[in-house]
Structure 1
Amino acid sequence: MRKTEPLLALHPGVRFLFAHPAHLIALGFGAGLSHVAPGTVGTLWAWLAYLALQQWLSPLHIGLLILAGTAVGWWACTTTARNLRIADPGCVVWDEVLAFWLVLWLAMPMGFWGQLTAFALFRFFDAAKPGPVGWADEHFKGLGWRGGWGILFDDFVAAFCTLLVIALWRFF
């Protein structure tokens, strides 16, 4: 929880969620409304949504959804952050959703334990922000388009780190 965020940014409500289509997307269709660990809740939502989506979409279509979700998410995260007047609000979880979809898309097929490990690794890299994740988080801040990209970018770097660990785990 960031001490500098106003109360609205910490706990926006259903009214804020539905006030603008960008809010609905950026807050992960409600996952970001969680008062406890919204990033973790958003990642859990992403995991369940991915498992449902793969029943109907081919890997190619999931990849295209991630690509389109990135473009739309950049707009949604930029708009929502601007409306909350916070550079990277904790309630914005679309970045976790897209990044974890990317992890699952590139690492599947995996059983439950592999997916759980991927989840734990991603949450570690996203929350602790070691090395390159911290660099990405610090260098792309603001309320404009660059800041909107920054909301997404540090999570994509966390996804890359997660995928690197999985690749090394599978290699050795």
Structure 2
Amino acid sequence: MGQKVHRCREVGCRTMIPYEETWCAVHAPLHPRRISAKTYKQYDEKRMADPERGERNAWYRKPPWRQMRDYIMERDNGMCGYCAMWDRVIPADMVDHIVPREFDRELELDEDNLIASCNWCHRQKTNWEQKYYGTGKGRKLRSDVIPITDVKLIKTIFKQA
């Protein structure tokens, strides 16, 4: 039986490394504070034990979302739509709700509210959403904000984040 391996955690890197490592030899120097795979596993176990998160994430396993996700990935050619605004060609890892699902459930399957996204852009946008919309665990949704539906405004948002 072979050694367990996984991909380097650097966005876009496809180098296979031992399970105990976090980054490949090329990217390890860029991350002086190494986080072990054990730490990630403990974090994931704790995060998945949250019942509210389980209910919220169950929606993402249902056929309507999976079909829409596949459609959006195909529509966007599997490339990050946010990165495209800066003429960068980066593979998408997921499909993102432009207006968060938590803020407006009516838009959850609206293709105009969905865009393919890389991990980096998704994290940046999520950080902004938590401040602007009040989304995320333990936060109170704000009713005094206007939903931003124009993806071109996201470029401005990333500059402010």
Does TM-score exceed 0.5, indicating one fold? no
TM-score of the pair, normalised by structure 2: 0.27
Asked which structure has the greater RCO (Cα within 8 Å, sep 6+), the reply is 1
* Structure whose CA Rg is larger: 2
Compare the two structures and name the one with the higher helix fraction.
1
More strand by share: 2
TM-score, with length taken from structure 1: 0.26
